[in-house]
A and B are shown apart, each in its own frame.
Chain A
Amino acid sequence: EAGVTQFPSHSVIEKGQTVTLRCDPISGHDNLYWYRRVMGKEIKFLLHFVKESKQDESGMPNNRFLAERTGGTYSTLKVQPAELEDSGVYFCASSPGAGTVFGQYFGPGTRLTVT
């Protein structure tokens, strides 16, 4: 069974540019999550999809971030325009159930560097 995959693994962009990160969850997992880890800090929740619907987007930092999950399969996270403080590792995770007692399966992350 394939795990959670993320693309690209690493992206370097200039301030003001746009970047789109992609996440493919484990097949059959309705729940998809985005997290971010800024250098030296802990991982923080960004948002949670159940199928194609945003269940909780309370962790999204501002309106420069747009997440979509059309069709309830893969998800994208767009940052536009990127700022220096957006640099970090963006993780995607998926799970078969919404509660945290269900294990979340994390992808390898996308390392975003904004220069």
Chain B
Amino acid sequence: KNQVEQSPQSLIILEGKNCTLQCNYTVSPFSNLRWYKQDTGRGPVSLTIMTFSENTKSNGRYTATLDADTKQSSLHITASQLSDSASYICVVSGNTGTASKLTFGTGTRLQVTL
């Protein structure tokens, strides 16, 4: 069964600190992996997308890594800001690259405090 597991489930950090969120998946075959940010009361917004051959991709203070051999990805947030408080969802796409083959993680809820 295709699964995406994220850790930690929740995280509280001080503003300005860095953090790393983890995503392990068992989806096979693999097409791509996205990290989404979901603010409270809003829909998910894509941060990064990585395909099989990509190891790292950055979007501002967000840097995602992918190890397709171990089926692990991480999202590193640098110099966190209060606006980073949100849920971060890892989504893995199966081989066909179609929506029905998307497997979502349950997300990591990040809270950035003063």
Contact = CB atoms under 8 A, between A and B. Distances in A.
Q: Is the interface of A mostly helix, strand, loop or mixed?
A: loop
A100 B102 contact: yes
Interface residues of B, number: 25
A45 interface: yes
Interface in A33-80: 33, 40-45, 48, 56, 58-59
B60 interface: no
A109 interface: yes
A42 B102 contact: no
B49 A48 contact: no
A42 B103 CA distance: 8
Interface stretch (B12-20, B40-48, B69-77, B78-86): B40-48
Given A100-B32, A101-B32, A56 B98 contact: yes
A19 interface: no
A48 B97 CA distance: 13
Given A93-B43, A103-B49, A44 B31 contact: no
Contacts of B106: 40-42
B98 A48 contact: yes
Interface in B1-46: 4, 31-32, 34, 41-46
